[in-house]
């Protein structure tokens, strides 16, 4: 890719807002677009350049960077994602979450690719962006409201029932480490605690309305590429079921490959009776009243429900995604089939990440099982497996930092540190981030999860392998002979490195992962993304160009972590339980991670990136190759530059 004027498909401006001083200014997107593509790529560059090593996540000088994907606002299939990135309170390092978003499209049409927020307002405010008009408004009347209430009040205030907003709930206001930012009522910038950073700045919400449009450089070529990609969805196997049930179709497949979380990872399969009891397809068939698509998505995984029976009759909400089935329903051993919808809705209202809630409560329930915690520790709550009422009460307590919830608001790792009593073994986390992903049973999934720069994340490199996949196609994509052999260590590093690039390119362009080969091998891959981006921008861009941009982003994420945390090689290993315990039941019963072989797999992973195998630190050669010589100088000053 070569230099030039700001291309089509970008809105053209970065909006900067200092909440402390009230200063609002604009900068050209071109300063970062060429090397960093968009969204999370631009965010890591801004954060790395502007954050000083003495800053902490809740320091007013910390930034939150909201990014719209480079293809957002175009008809590119699946281009519906925006990002929120910051120095996060979960790990102390790189924090970034993606969300299906109407607000992202509005920002793009208002002329902004990126919004960078710093400082701390003296009193609660919300940000109102209407094309060139940018205003900080009083939010005193919104403080204390949940996200659903906030949306309704803002729509009334601005006299527009069609407005969309990003907001925090009580969890963000109370600086809960697992607080998230919620789009309208249901979609969240998950993981990482971005909502807590927003709360620390007294920023309640962001509302946007744009009346402009997004253009592309080569319309005929671009629309030809769009049509070709949409035809892929017409031919792809499994898309019809995905359109019907969304990610909730996954239970049987995940169950078959030890891909679920039961009783805080004591097991990685559900009991058969529980599978029959909670099957989400049954509830979708029974309670669905409408589907929901975000702009450009050819699938439409949203399901709006009206629950008419059971303990939560009367609940009207969007259905949860798959993750809640594992991280809250199964993890806590709850067999009421509509609990997943209730707890997901409650977390959305409170602005609390579902993994943060599940991880902390799962730790507490297992500590209760082991006799480490008693009712005297837990405000009298009976934290036995399957107690749905106690879980819902505890979710409220976490969001409001009340009683025992104040301890759990620190996450499982933080709660274990506070309680002690040898409870740390049951705090299932990576780099301080509560873990959702089972690491026993699929080594390409485990490696992508454990090496994630944001801590325990399956959407930054983990490779899914499920029954019915076209393994011949997998072999061609990843260039390995054994992608279907999930318990073989060889080749998995190569698969993860490929997926790390695809995930970051998706994020930068705003493409939902579920529209790509990550979820369905018949869908979008790097060649289609390169063609869409080339036609949209007018910049000739190859697959290799995209991969290099993604590798550059990953390397800078790693460098940011090294400047702000003590992460090293040991932090790229699975949890102590994953290393110590064999899979207890099911077709993989008795299989256990071999620590020596896992470490050799890590060696291969570091070699592919050019990182030091003994420390995991990037080498000067690797960084210079990516144009990050300045980062090499920074790491050398703090003794964290790799040497081999």
Over the Cα atoms of the chain, what is R_g?
A: 23
Q: Which CATH number fits the domain that encloses residue 19?
A: 3.60.9.10
Q: Is residue 168 located within the same domain as residue 263?
A: no
End position of a domain, from candidates 183, 209, 235? 209
For residue 644, the model assigns a pLDDT of: 77
Q: Is residue 27 located within the same domain as residue 70?
A: yes
At 7, is the pLDDT very low, low, confident or very high (cuts 50, 70, 90)? confident
Please report the DSSP string for 95-142 in residue order: EEEEEE-HHHHHHHHHTEEEEEEES--SS-EEEEEETTEEEEEE-TTT
User: In this model, does residue 74 exceed pLDDT 90?
Assistant: yes
Q: How crowded is the C-beta side of 138, counted as CA atoms within 13 Å?
A: 2
Instruction: Return the SS3 of 442.
Output: coil
Q: Is residue 344 located within the same domain as residue 493?
A: no
User: For 85-102, how does the pLDDT look when each residue is reduced to its tens digit (9 = 90+)?
Assistant: 999 999 999 999 999 999
Q: Is residue 313 located within the same domain as residue 340?
A: yes
Which residues constitute the domain of residue 87? 13-209
Q: Which CATH number fits the domain that encloses residue 306?
A: 1.10.569.10
Domain annotation covers residue 263: yes
Distance of CA 29 to the CA centre of its chain: 24
Domain annotation covers residue 586: yes
Q: Is residue 428 located within the same domain as residue 528?
A: no
For residue 5, the model assigns a pLDDT of: 54
Cα 615 to Cα 475: distance, rounded to the nearest angstrom:
31
Domain annotation covers residue 230: no
Residue showing tokens 């607000």: 103
Q: What's the total number of domains in the chain? A: 3
Q: Is residue 197 located within the same domain as residue 268?
A: no
Q: Is residue 417 located within the same domain as residue 452?
A: no
Q: Are 74 and 536 in contact (CB under 8 A)?
A: yes
For residue 217, the model assigns a pLDDT of: 97
Q: Is residue 105 located within the same domain as residue 132?
A: yes
Q: Are 11 and 112 in contact (CB under 8 A)?
A: yes
Left (φ > 0), alpha (ψ -120 to 50) or beta: where does 459 sit?
Answer: alpha
Cα 302 to Cα 306: distance, rounded to the nearest angstrom:
14
Domain annotation covers residue 510: yes
Domain annotation covers residue 428: yes
End position of a domain, from candidates 373, 407, 434? 434
Cα 191 to Cα 415: distance, rounded to the nearest angstrom:
17
End position of a domain, from candidates 434, 469, 490? 434
Q: Is residue 64 located within the same domain as residue 195?
A: yes
Q: Which CATH number fits the domain that encloses residue 514?
A: 1.10.599.10
User: For 140-186, how does the pLDDT look when each residue is reduced to its tens digit (9 = 90+)?
Assistant: 999 999 999 999 999 999 999 999 999 999 999 999 999 999 999 99
Q: Residue 259: which residues within 8 A CB-CB, separation 6 or more?
A: 253, 268, 326, 438, 441, 442, 445, 466
Tokens (6 digits) for 404 = 């025992």
Q: Is residue 414 located within the same domain as residue 450?
A: no
Q: Judging by beta carbons within 10 Å of its beta carbon (0-12, 13-18, 19+), is residue 552 exposed, middle or buried? A: buried
Domain annotation covers residue 49: yes
Domain annotation covers residue 226: no
Q: Give the residue among 50, 103, 206 at the shortest CA–CA distance from 563.
A: 50
Q: Is residue 256 located within the same domain as residue 399?
A: yes
User: In this model, does residue 278 exceed pLDDT 80?
Assistant: yes
User: In this model, does residue 37 exceed pLDDT 50?
Assistant: yes
User: In this model, does residue 31 exceed pLDDT 60?
Assistant: yes
Domain annotation covers residue 153: yes
Q: Is residue 326 located within the same domain as residue 409?
A: yes
Q: Which residues pair with 95 in a beta bridge?
A: 86
User: For 376-430, how does the pLDDT look when each residue is reduced to its tens digit (9 = 90+)?
Assistant: 999 999 999 999 999 999 999 999 999 999 999 999 999 999 999 999 999 999 9
């Amino acid at each position: 890719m070569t230099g030039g004027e700001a291309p089509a498909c970008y809105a053209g401006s970065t909006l900067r807002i200092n909440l402390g001083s009230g200063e609002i200014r604009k900068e050209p997107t071109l300063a970062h677009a060429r090397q960093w593509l968009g969204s999370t790529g631009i965010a890591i560059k801004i954060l790395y350049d502007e954050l000083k090593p003495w800053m902490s996540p809740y320091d007013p000088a910390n930034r939150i960077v909201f990014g719209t994907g480079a293809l957002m606002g175009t008809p590119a299939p699946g281009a519906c994602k925006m990002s929120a990135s910051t120095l996060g309170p979960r790990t102390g390092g790189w924090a970034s979450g993606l969300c299906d978003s109407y607000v992202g499209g509005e920002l793009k049409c208002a002329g902004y690719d990126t919004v960078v927020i710093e400082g701390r307002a003296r009193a609660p405010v919300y940000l109102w962006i209407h094309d060139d008009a940018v205003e900080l408004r009083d939010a005193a009347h919104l403080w204390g409201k949940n996200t659903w209430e906030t949306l309704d009040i803002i729509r009334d205030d601005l006299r527009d029932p069609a407005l969309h907003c990003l907001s925090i709930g009580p969890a963000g206001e109370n600086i809960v480490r697992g607080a998230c930012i919620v789009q309208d009522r249901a979609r969240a910038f998950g993981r990482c605690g971005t909502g807590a950073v927003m709360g620390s700045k007294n920023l309640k919400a962001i509302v946007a309305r744009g009346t402009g449009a997004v253009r592309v450089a080569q319309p005929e070529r671009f629309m030809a590429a769009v049509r070709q990609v949409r035809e892929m969805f017409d031919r792809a196997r499994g898309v019809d079921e995905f359109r019907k049930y969304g990610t909730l179709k996954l239970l049987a497949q995940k169950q078959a490959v030890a891909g679920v979380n039961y009783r805080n990872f004591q097991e990685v399969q559900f009991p058969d009776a529980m599978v029959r009891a909670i099957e989400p397809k049954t509830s979708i068939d029974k309670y669905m009243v409408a589907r929901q698509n975000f702009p450009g998505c050819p699938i439409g995984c949203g399901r709006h429900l009206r629950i008419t029976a059971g303990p939560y009759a009367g609940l009207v909400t969007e259905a949860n995604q798959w993750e809640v089935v594992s991280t809250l329903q199964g993890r806590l051993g709850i067999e009421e089939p509509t609990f997943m919808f209730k707890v997901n809705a409650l977390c959305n209202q409170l602005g609390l990440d579902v993994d943060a809630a599940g991880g902390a409560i799962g730790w507490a329930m297992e500590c209760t099982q082991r006799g480490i915690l008693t009712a005297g520790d837990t405000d009298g709550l009976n934290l036995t497996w399957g107690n749905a009422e106690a879980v819902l009460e505890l979710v409220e307590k976490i969001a409001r930092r009340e009683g025992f919830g104040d301890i759990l608001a620190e996450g499982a790792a933080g709660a274990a540190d506070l309680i002690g009593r040898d409870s740390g073994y049951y705090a299932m986390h990576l780099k301080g981030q509560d873990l959702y992903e089972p690491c026993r049973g699929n080594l390409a999934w485990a490696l992508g999860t454990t090496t994630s720069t944001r801590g325990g994340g399956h959407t930054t490199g983990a490779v899914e392998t499920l029954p019915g996949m076209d393994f011949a196609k997998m072999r061609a994509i990843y260039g390995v002979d054994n992608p279907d052999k999930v318990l073989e260590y060889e080749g998995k590093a190569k698969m993860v490195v490929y997926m790390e690039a695809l995930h970051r390119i998706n994020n930068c362009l705003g493409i939902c992962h579920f529209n790509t080969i990550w979820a369905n091998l018949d869908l979008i891959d790097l060649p289609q993304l390169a063609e869409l981006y080339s036609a949209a921008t007018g910049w000739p861009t190859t697959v290799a160009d995209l991969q290099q941009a993604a590798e550059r982003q990953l390397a800078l994420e790693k460098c940011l972590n090294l400047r702000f945390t003590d992460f090293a090689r040991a932090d790229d290993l699975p949890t102590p339980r994953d290393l110590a315990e064999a899979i207890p039941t099911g077709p993989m019963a008795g299989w256990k991670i071999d620590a020596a072989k896992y470490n050799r797999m890590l060696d291969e992973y570091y070699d592919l990136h050019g990182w030091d195998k003994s420390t995991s630190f990037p080498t000067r050669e690797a960084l210079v190759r990516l144009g990050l010589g300045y980062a090499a100088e920074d790491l050398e000053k703090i003794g964290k530059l790799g040497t081999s």
